[in-house]
Structure 1
Amino acid sequence: MLLVTLINMLVVVAAVVIHYECLLRLNNLLPHLKVWHRFRIVFGVLGAMAAHAIEVWGFALAYFLMIKRGNWGTLAGNFDGTLTDCAYFSFTTFTTIGFGDIEPVGHLKYLTGLEALTGLVLITWTASFLFLEMQRYWAIK
């Protein structure tokens, strides 16, 4: 159980660090783009979405490796054991949609809960970042 907790913490910390680094780089890059100022927001949105996708795939890889390990749980339901299905489950968990066609069993439940909480926090962080960027660039005529 201690090893599962450490793995879960590592995955969450990795997602937060990835998000921080992506937003920091976007914040530094956007003012220097030689494009119409409103396209900076589009670039910011696309950059943030790319960060979220990387984070989701990180969780998906963790699910996949934990399932392959064998004794840390599995995903049940409409799940065929592929990395692609792990990514689908991760996207629905990260965004807190949770369609319910795949559900965690065993110790994977803990990572699933942490992913939903992490996704909520990181999506909110992105919304705040984009709000500040819109205030900065939409006021420019």
Structure 2
Amino acid sequence: MIVVFLVNTLIVITAVIIHYEFLYRLTLLLPRIQVRHRFRIVLGVGGALLGHAVEVWIFAIAYYLMHRADGWGYLEGNFNGSLMDAVYFSFTIFTTLGFGDIQPHGELRFLTGIESLTGLVLITWSASFLFVEMQRFWNTR
């Protein structure tokens, strides 16, 4: 159980660091771009979405590897074992959409719960970041 906790913690820390770096780089980049403020916001949204996609892939790779390894559990249902199915599953978990067409079993279930919580926090962080950026650029017109 301690190994599961440590692996899950490492995956979450990786996702949070990636998210922080994306938002930090956007904070540095957006004011330097010489375009209309509307386009800066669009670039900010695109950067945040790209960051989320990278984070989803981190979790997806973990699901893919855990599914293939002994002792971590497995995914069943509308899941053929491919990396793209793991990415689809990760997107539904990260966004807390959870269609339910793929079910986790075994130790792998713990990562799905923490991914949902992580996704919720990181999406909220992005929303807060974009709100601050919108205020900054819209107040300077």
Normalised by the length of structure 2, the TM-score is 0.98
Q: What is the distance in 2 between the residues matched to 1:30 and 1:104?
A: 40
Q: How many equivalent residue pairs?
A: 141
Q: Which runs of 5+ in 1 are unaligned?
A: none
Q: What is the distance in 1 between the residues matched to 2:32 and 2:132?
A: 16
Q: Secondary structure at the match of 2:63?
A: helix
Q: Choose 114-123 or 27-36, whichever is displaced more.
A: 27-36
- 1:1-141 aligned at under 5 Å gives the runs 1-141=1-141
Cα shift readout 1:51-77 (whole Å, capped 9, x = no counterpart): 000000000000011111121001111
Letter aligned with residue 67 of structure 1? H
Tell me how far 1:140 sits from its aligned partner. Answer: 2.7
Q: Which runs of 5+ in 2 are unaligned?
A: none
Q: Secondary structure at the match of 2:61?
A: helix
Q: Secondary structure at the match of 1:71?
A: coil
Cα shift readout 1:33-53 (whole Å, capped 9, x = no counterpart): 011121000000000000000
Instruction: Let me know the Cα RMSD of the aligned residues.
Output: 0.7
Q: Percent identity, please.
A: 62
Tell me how far 1:84 sits from its aligned partner. Answer: 0.4
Q: Secondary structure at the match of 1:104?
A: strand
Q: What is the distance in 1 between the residues matched to 2:112 and 2:19?
A: 19
